[in-house]
Structure 1
Amino acid sequence: MIFSPQSKVWIYQSNRKFTGQETTEIQDILNRFVDQWTAHGAQLKAKAEIYHNYFIVLTVDQEVANATGCSIDSSVRVIKEIESKYGLDLFDRFNMAYKINDEVYVAPKEDFETLISIKKIGLETTVFNNLVQTLEEFENKWEVQLQDSWHKNIFAEQLNA
């Protein structure tokens, strides 16, 4: 299925890595959800994917039908159900995800600051920009070096120390 580059994207980042079994079960829940996901009775052209066993990415091609308030609320309910069932935190925006040697890690903001201070994380470290809005941005600006992300401004003090 081909999606428009302007398709809307929502990213939910877990506070911990999903196990293999959890990934399979969560993907099944997501598949069932997107198969019946509608907005005002119109079927949404949507997909749900899990990346790096940490991220749930929902995509809706708005050229087919727009996600509306009610349909977005239904997606949030499914994410909250997953969160509850598996003991995850998928809504904490103060958890920072980064990649070192192709391995993804998630750390609370304070620990991330410490890792910068002790030079375990630097300007060239890959971070995840979960603020991307479209499929095109997701494909080109989701995994970026810290120096090219909003993280650089938030952690400027630690980076310049």
Structure 2
Amino acid sequence: MFVEYSTISDTAKVWVYPSSRKFYPNEIEEVTQKIQSFIQNWKAGDEDFTASFQFLYDRFIVLIADDEKSALQNVDIDASVAFILKLQEEYNVQLLDKMNVCFKQGKYVQYKELKDFKKLLKNKAVTGKTIIFDNLVANNYDFKNFWEIPIEDSWYNRFL
């Protein structure tokens, strides 16, 4: 069942899907409606299951599922991945490539392949103070507190 994000617990599971490009203004409302519809029907009939989402920077789709009262099964996770794959195809974006890096440059969010990101670090185009998005956060607490952090405080600091 879809619920407002503010009601989701800190222990809820989180999946962050960074898009290879910003969604265009004419796509945002449609994508938002599709995500909400998916979540509403994700585990239809299971009153104990609650989930929500965040659609941030017109680029990140964040699914949040509170499975404390109703455990997620493999079939449920498969359904979410199938939904994301469908969005990828429909909007011609990459959402499942975890080998890319997202970071802020000024007010803009950059999306780079890891090898290109390493070159930027080497050339000092980004520094340890640059804000990076850790899309591997696993729960809502980590998402709220450690998703947007300086590179020097993230696991990416090994590339500094």
Shorter-chain TM-score above 0.5: yes
RMSD, aligned α-carbons: 1.3
> Could you tell me how far apart the structure 2 residues matched to 1:104 and 1:45 are?
30
1:126 maps to what in 2?
A: 131
1:141 corresponding residue in structure 2: 146
Q: Distance in 1 between matches of 2:143 and 2:107?
A: 18
- 2:92 partner amino acid: G
- TM norm structure 1: 0.90
User: What secondary structure, in the 3-state scheme, does the structure 1 residue paired with 2:98 have?
Assistant: coil
Hey, what does 1:42 align to over in structure 2?
A: 46
Aligned to 2:104: 99
Gapped regions of structure 2 (runs ≥ 5) = none
- Decide which moves more: 96-105 or 123-132: 96-105
Q: In the alignment, is the contact (CA less than 8 A) between 2:8 and 2:52 conserved in 1?
A: no
Aligned residue for 1:42, secondary structure, equals: coil
Runs of 4+ displaced beyond 4 Å: none
Letter in 1 for 2:41: Q
Distance 1:45 1:52 in 2: 24
Q: Partner letter of residue 145 of structure 2?
A: N
Give, in angstroms, the shift of residue 108 of structure 1: 1.1
Pairs aligned (count): 154
Query: What residue ranges of structure 1 are gaps of 5+ in the alignment?
Result: none
Partners of 1:27 and 1:48 within 8 A in 2: no
User: Hey, what's the Cα distance between the residues in 1 that align with 2:91 and 2:74?
Assistant: 26
SS in 1 for 2:32: helix
Give identity over the alignment, percent: 33
